[in-house]
Amino acid sequence: MNREQTAKARSAKAKHEREWLAIDAVSAVGVGVREGEVCIIISVDTNPASLTSTIPAGVDDIPVVVERRGRIEPL
Amino acid sequence: MPASLEELRKAISEARSVLMAKPNVTATGIGYKTTNGKKTSELSIICSVEVKRPRARLRSAEIVPATISGVPTDVFPTGPMRVLQDRTGRYRPAPGGVSIGHYAISAGTFGGLVTKNGVRYILSNNHVMANSNDASPGDSILQPGPADGGSWTNDEIARLSEFVPIVFEQNGDAGRGCRLAATAAGFLNFLAAIAGSRTRLRTYTVQTGTNKVDCAIAEPVSPGEVTNEIIELGSLNSTVEGELDMEVRKSGRTTGLSSGVIQQVDVTARVSFGADRVAVFEDQLMAGPMAQGGDSGSLVTDTQNNAVGLLFAGSSTTTIINRIQNVFSQLGVTLR
């Protein structure tokens, strides 16, 4: 895992997560790896395609991936 | 000419004791033979083994003959056999991984034992043992939990000692937040609707604190009524930081032993606790689906039995886990 890239992703996430969490469909924001690349992953409970105009494909040189994960509840 | 079912039954009854005496055979039965990965229509005596190895790597005592009394055999790898235990029953002493709960909830999971000031406590979630903040120290904790038949009179295993309160989000639209923000969001959502966008903003006030954990501890009414073991996991070794791609396991009341992989770290998650109650949790770990309702409170470990986290939430596709370091520091507990 690229620690430098992970730290950069964490920093970018911290800077932008509040605006993403203010979107009704967003249930979580985290840092993960997709296709070998460290990225910010935004979990939503709706069709990710409906958020393409609202959530950028990347911030601060870090890719942003939107995934449908459903509503998060205590188990 | 293929063997008939009667011939197979006769052959297997004669050969069973010899086959079961083989050190690698865990079960015998009758079924269709599989050849080159494809099930055939030929009935055979099937010998189950944990791992299927090439004939050249077997000792002579381990070799299953190709036919028995003219009936073909087959060898099927099943993995380790284990007893399927009902986690919802009453256990004394009770291990980690079984049903537990505050008397006013349904049921969750007894995570494991932790220590504080030399006293052993049961560790689980706030929403399992402290009814999502709506409980008081001294409240009865039942094993099994109420949804599994645990009763106040017969099944009290511990009394609530401490919990870390969950800070719930105050909904701005409910009138307690900023009216200006609510008005602005409403106006922007109106414009978004006119423009054909389905994206909606919501308003919320900043929480007065940050959630990192959903946890509580309860002191057993008698130390002999609990055990340090966790069903199907054994005892814990130590703690370790959860990292991306780490393989993890948990032992829980509903789905038993399951495994997953840490897919995300540094997760901030909005968790819906029912009608209009939402709490935001920071610094969480996210794994794939490895739990269902009732598994909350399970300890999550790596493959070396080191505690990684405390499972508390999820969806059909995801599992959210408190970091064990945050749990231990906020409760002031240790593993031993």
- The model's confidence at residue B200, banded by pLDDT at 50, 70 and 90, is low
Distance between CA atoms of residues B184 and B14, nearest Å:
82
- Bridge-partner residues for B59, per DSSP? none
Q: What is the dihedral of CA B300, B301, B302, B305, to 10 degrees?
A: -170
- Whether the CB of A1 is below 8 Å from some CB of chain B: the reply is yes
- What's the residue count for chain B? 336
The stretch B255-276 carries a mean pLDDT of 94
Question: Residues with Cβ < 8 Å from B153, sequence gap 6 or more?
Answer: none
The stretch B4-33 carries a mean pLDDT of 89
Q: What is the pLDDT of residues A38-50, one digit of tens each?
A: 999 999 998 998 8
Q: What is the pLDDT of residues B76-125, one digit of tens each?
A: 888 777 666 799 999 999 999 999 999 999 999 999 999 999 999 999 99
Contact A73 B296 (CB under 8 A): no
For residue A25, give the DSSP letter: T
Calculate the CA B79 to chain-centre distance.
20
Interface test with A, best of B163, B197, B268, B321 (most A CBs within 10 A): B268
Here the tokens at position B165 are: 């309160």
Least Cα separation, residue B225 to chain A (angstroms) = 25
Residues of A in contact with B214 (CB under 8 A): 74
Here the tokens at position B17 are: 């004791």
Residues of A in contact with B273 (CB under 8 A): 73-74
Interface test with A, best of B106, B243, B270 (most A CBs within 10 A): B270
Report the chain A residue with the minimal C-alpha distance to residue B283: A30
Q: What is the pLDDT of residues B214-237, one digit of tens each?
A: 999 999 999 999 999 999 999 999
Q: What is the per-residue pLDDT for B78? A: 83
Residues of B in contact with A8 (CB under 8 A): none
- The model's confidence at residue B208, banded by pLDDT at 50, 70 and 90, is low
Closest to B123 in 3D by CA, of B241, B270, B230: B230
Partner B, chain A 38-57, Cβ-Cβ below 8 Å: 41, 43, 45-46, 50-51, 53-54
Distance between CA atoms of residues B298 and B286, nearest Å:
14
Structural domains of chain B, with CATH: 5-77 (3.30.300), 94-167+210-331 (2.40.10.10)
Distance between CA atoms of residues B272 and B255, nearest Å:
22
Q: Is B305 exposed, middle or buried (0-12, 13-18, 19+ CB in 10 A)?
A: middle
Pairing of strands B94-96, B226-230: parallel
Q: What is the per-residue pLDDT for B186? A: 62
**Biggest alpha carbon distance in chain A?**
36
Torsions phi, psi for B170 (to 5 deg) = -90, 125
- Whether the CB of A12 is below 8 Å from some CB of chain B: the reply is no
Residues of B in contact with A71 (CB under 8 A): 272, 315
Contact B266 A31 (CB under 8 A): yes
Contact A73 B271 (CB under 8 A): yes
Contact A74 B312 (CB under 8 A): yes
- Whether the CB of B269 is below 8 Å from some CB of chain A: the reply is yes
Q: What is the per-residue pLDDT for B174? A: 38
The stretch A4-25 carries a mean pLDDT of 95
Domain extents in chain A:
3-68
High-pLDDT (> 70) share of chain B, %: 87
- Answer whether B158's CB lies under 8 Å from B218's CB: yes
Which long-range contacts does B16-19 make (Cβ < 8 Å, 24+ apart)?
B19/B45, B19/B47, B19/B64, B19/B68
Distance between CA atoms of residues A33 and B144, nearest Å:
39
Here the tokens at position A18 are: 């509040």
Lowest pLDDT segment from B13-22, B53-62, B153-162, B188-197? B188-197
Residue B178 has pLDDT above 90, yes or no: no
CATH number of the A3-68 domain: 3.30.300
Closest to B110 in 3D by CA, of B75, B76, B86, B145: B145
Q: Is B289 exposed, middle or buried (0-12, 13-18, 19+ CB in 10 A)?
A: middle
Least Cα separation, residue B316 to chain A (angstroms) = 7
Lowest pLDDT segment from A54-58, B14-18, B96-100, B238-242? B14-18
Distance between CA atoms of residues B58 and B275, nearest Å:
61
- Answer whether A1's CB lies under 8 Å from B246's CB: no
For residue B239, give the DSSP letter: B
Q: What is the pLDDT of residues B98-108, one digit of tens each?
A: 999 999 999 99
The stretch B244-248 carries a mean pLDDT of 96
Report the chain B residue with the minimal C-alpha distance to residue A16: B268
> Alpha helices, DSSP H only, in B198-255?
none
Report the chain B residue with the minimal C-alpha distance to residue A55: B199
Distance between CA atoms of residues B320 and B115, nearest Å:
24
- Whether the CB of B315 is below 8 Å from some CB of chain A: the reply is yes
Q: What is the CA radius of gyration of chain B?
A: 26
Q: What is the per-residue pLDDT for B128? A: 98
